[in-house]
C-alpha cells in the first residue's frame, strides 16, 4: 500500500474531458427530446473550442450497433473515429461497455443469474476492450449499472462479488496493458448495487490479480447518493493511488441521479473536492478532470454546451480559491481548535468577503 504525500504547492494545468452523451437533446424518463438532434460526430469539433481535450466513450459511441458488426467492421469504424480524434487534437480518455442497454442484461451483466447472459456480457466486454485498444486508449470504465438487484433475495450477493472479481481478472488477462477504472454508484437503475462506493472498488482492486491496473473513477453525484462526502471519497482513492479519473457534477439531496452542474447545489462541497484534488497533485500524471453534467431540459439551442463550460470555469475559479486560501491562518485555527473561526473563514473566502 502506498500513500501519496500532500503537495501544497503544485501548479498543475488541468485537462478536461466529457462524454458525447453530455451534449444531449433533453429527453428524460417522463418526456421526449426537446432540442434538435446534434449529430454525434459533429460533437468532436466542439471539444477544443470549449476548452476540453479528452473524450470519454461508451463502446457504441465509437462503433454504433457494434453488436451487429464483424470484428473487421468494428476495427474499421474505430480507426475512422481515431482519425477524427487525431484531426481535432483529442485524446480518448476511456471506453465503457454499455452493458445496461441490451435485452440480455435486464437482470445484470456479469452478475446475472443466467449463464447465457453472463457469456453475452463477457463477449461485449471483449469487444469494448478491442475498441479501446484500436483507439489507443489505455482504460475501460466499468460503471456496474445493473450489477445489483431490484429485490435483494433474487441474487446471491457473495456469488455476485466472486463473479465481478472473476470478470476483472479475465479482463486483466485478456489485455496485458489495459486499466480498469470502476465507477461506483449505490443505486439507479438497480435498487441496491454491489459496488456502491469507492471503498468497495478499491477492495476489488486489491483482491484482483493485478491491483496496479484496477482503479476508480469517482462521480460527485454517486458519492452523494451513497450519503457520503465526495471529497472524502476522492481522498480515500488518492490515498491508495487509485483515483484514475473523476466525474464532477452535483446532486441536490437524495433523489434521482441529477448530474447537475459542478458546484450548482453545494459550492463548498465543490471547493473541497477541488482542494483534495489539488493537494494530491491530481492531473500531474496526465489524469483528466472529467465532467458528467446534464444540460437543463429548459435550455434551448442546437448542441447545448453552457453546462459544460460553466462547470469547467467554476472548477477553475475554485482552483484559484484553493490556491489563494490562507494556509497559515488555517493552520493557526486548527492548532487553536477554533473550528467556528475556520468555518467562517472558509465561507467568507468563498464569498470573496474580507
Ligand atoms: C451513470 C453514469 C454514466 C457513466 C458512464 O450514472 O454516471 O454516465 O458515467 O457510462
Ligand atoms: Mn458518471
- What are the backbone angles phi and psi of residue 94, rounded to the nearest 5°? -160, 165
- Ligand 1 contacts CB of residue 292 (under 6 A): yes
DSSP structural state of residue 199: H
Mutate which of 62, 96, 148, 186 to test ligand 1's pocket (most atoms within 8 Å of Cβ)?
96
User: Which atom, in ligand 1's list, is nearest to the CA of 145?
Assistant: 1
For atom 4 of ligand 1, the residue with the nearest CA is 143
Please give the Cα distance from 62 to 64 (Å, whole number).
6
- Indicate which atom in ligand 1 lies nearest the CA of residue 56: 5
Give the chain's mean pLDDT: 96
> What pLDDT is recorded for position 11?
57
Grid coordinates belonging to 4: 501519496
Query: Distance between CA atoms of 135 and 95, rounded to whole angstroms?
Result: 9
> What's the mean pLDDT in 5-18?
69
User: Ligand 1: which of 19, 93, 139 to mutate, judged by most atoms within 8 Å of the beta carbon?
Assistant: 19
Amino acid 10: pLDDT: 52
Distance in angstroms (rounded) separating the CA atoms of residues 290 and 105: 27
State what percent of residues in the chain have pLDDT above 90.
Answer: 95
Residue whose CA lies nearest to ligand 1 atom number 10: 143
Per-residue model confidence as pLDDT tens digits over 126-149: 999 999 999 999 999 999 999 999
pLDDT at 120: 98
pLDDT category of residue 7 using cuts at 50, 70 and 90: very low
The catalytic residue positions are 58, 61
The pLDDT value recorded for residue 190 is 97
Give the tens place of pLDDT for each residue, 167-216.
999 999 999 999 999 999 999 999 999 999 999 999 999 999 999 999 99
Q: Give, using CA atoms, the residue closest to atom 5 of ligand 1.
A: 143
Walk me through the domains of the chain, giving residue ranges and CATH numbers. Answer: 15-304 (3.20.20.150)
Range 260-268, long-range pairs (CB < 8 A, 24+ positions): 260/221, 260/293, 260/294, 261/293, 261/307, 261/310, 261/311, 261/314, 262/220, 262/291, 262/293, 262/311, 262/314, 262/315, 263/311, 263/314, 263/315, 263/318, 267/350, 268/346, 268/347, 268/350
Share of the chain above pLDDT 70, in %: 97
Q: Is 259 in the pocket of ligand 1 (CB under 6 A)?
A: no
3-state secondary structure 15-63: CEEECHHHCCCCCECCECCCCCCCCHHHHHHHHHHHCCCEEEEEHHHHC
Amino acid at each position: 500500500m502506498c500513500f501519496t504525500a500532500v503537495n501544497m504547492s503544485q501548479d498543475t494545468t488541468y485537462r478536461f474531458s466529457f462524454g458525447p452523451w453530455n451534449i444531449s437533446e433533453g429527453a428524460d424518463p417522463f418526456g421526449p427530446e426537446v432540442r434538435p438532434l446534434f449529430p454525434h460526430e459533429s460533437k468532436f469539433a466542439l471539444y477544443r473550442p470549449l476548452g476540453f481535450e479528452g473524450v470519454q466513450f461508451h463502446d457504441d459511441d465509437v462503433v454504433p450497433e457494434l453488436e451487429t458488426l464483424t470484428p473487421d467492421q468494428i476495427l474499421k469504424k474505430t480507426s475512422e473515429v481515431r482519425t477524427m480524434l487525431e484531426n481535432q487534437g483529442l485524446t480518448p480518455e476511456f471506453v465503457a461497455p454499455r452493458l445496461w442497454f441490451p435485452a440480455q442484461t435486464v437482470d445484470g451483466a456479469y452478475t446475472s443469474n443466467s449463464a447465457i447472459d453472463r457469456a453475452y456480457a463477457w463477449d461485449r466486454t471483449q469487444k469494448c476492450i478491442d475498441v479501446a485498444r484500436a483507439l489507443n486508449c489505455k482504460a475501460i470504465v466499468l460503471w456496474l449499472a445493473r450489477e445489483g438487484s431490484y429485490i435483494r433475495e433474487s441474487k446471491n450477493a457473495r456469488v455476485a462479488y466472486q463473479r465481478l472479481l472473476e470478470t476483472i481478472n479475465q479482463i486483466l488477462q485478456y489485455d496485458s496493458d489495459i486499466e480498469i477504472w470502476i465507477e461506483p454508484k449505490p443505486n439507479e437503475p438497480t435498487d441496491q448495487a454491489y459496488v456502491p462506493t469507492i471503498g468497495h472498488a478499491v477492495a476489488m482492486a486489491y483482491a484482483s490479480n493485478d491491483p496496479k491496473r484496477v482503479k476508480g473513477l469517482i462521480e460527485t453525484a454517486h458519492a452523494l447518493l451513497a450519503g457520503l462526502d465526495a471529497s472524502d471519497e476522492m481522498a480515500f482513492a488518492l490515498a491508495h493511488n487509485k483515483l484514475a479519473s473523476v466525474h464532477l457534477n452535483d446532486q441536490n439531496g437524495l433523489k434521482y441521479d441529477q448530474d447537475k452542474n459542478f458546484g450548482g447545489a453545494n459550492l463548498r462541497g465543490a471547493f473541497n473536492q477541488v482542494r483534495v484534488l489539488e493537494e494530491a497533485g491530481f492531473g500531474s500524471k496526465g489524469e483528466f478532470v472529467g465532467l458528467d453534467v446534464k444540460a437543463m431540459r429548459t435550455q434551448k439551442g442546437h448542441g447545448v454546451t453552457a453546462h459544460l463550460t460553466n462547470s469547467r470555469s467554476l472548477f477553475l475559479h475554485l482552483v484559484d480559491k484553493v490556491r489563494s486560501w490562507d494556509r497559515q491562518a488555517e493552520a493557526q485555527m486548527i492548532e487553536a481548535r477554533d473550528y467556528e473561526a475556520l468555518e467562517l473563514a472558509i465561507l467568507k473566502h468563498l464569498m470573496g468577503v474580507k
